[in-house]
Amino acid sequence: MALAWAELWPILLYFLFTLTLLAGVMLLSSVLGPKNKGHSTDLPYESGILSYGGARVRFGNHFFLYAIFFVIFDMEVLFLFAWAISLKESGWMGFIEALVFILVLLVALVYLWRIGALRVKAEERS
């Protein structure tokens, strides 16, 4: 616990210092800058075309799918980290277990690819 704290507090101090500095610069700019208002200052920038409707619209869910895959595969990385650091201690038994684990996930990846879940365009998906 003492060791962890000795390594952590400089990071905390660094965080506070950087936060103060960056927030200070932002504050400084908001004080120094002018506050002009032209006839189209407060319009959203959409390449010179007047904006039609808000941006809170519904759109395809494929980005959501990627987020789900990320959760699945990044979890895998979490377990593999623990294996990588104890590689020599866990030996060949650990290797075989990790191999089975990785193979299961590779099969899952192939399955996802085969059903077209990794494609962006909806019409390519089956």
Partner 1 sequence: MNFWYSFLAIVVLVMLLLPTAAMLVWVERRLLGFWQERLGPNRVGPYGILQSLADLIKILFKHDWIPPFADAKVFVAAPLMGALAVMMSYAVVPMAPGWVISDSHIGLLFFLAMTSLAVYSVLLAGWSSNNKYALIGAMRAAAQTISYEVFMGLSLLGVVMLAGSFRLSDIVLAQQEGWFILPQCLGFVLFLIAGIAESHRLPFDLPEAETELTAGFHTEYSGIKFALFFLGEYLGVMLISMMITVLFLGGWLAPFGLEGFIPPIIWFVLKTFVLISFFILLRAALPRPRFDQLLAFGWLWMLPLSLINLLVTAALILGGQ
* Cα angle 56-117-100, degrees, rounded to a multiple of 5: 130
Contact with partner 1 (CB under 8 A) among 57, 58, 123, 126:
57
Dihedral-angle region of residue 124 (phi above 0 means left; psi in -120 to 50 means alpha; beta otherwise): alpha
Phi, psi values for residue 43, rounded to 5°: -95, 150
Binding pattern to partner 1, positions 1-20, x when CB under 8 A? --x--xxxxxx-xxx-xxx-
Q: Minimum distance from CB of 38 to partner 1 (Å)?
A: 10
* Site residues (CB under 8 A) for partner 1, limited to 91-110: 91-92, 95, 98-99, 102, 105-106, 109
Q: Which is nearer to partner 1, 7 or 126 (CB)?
A: 7
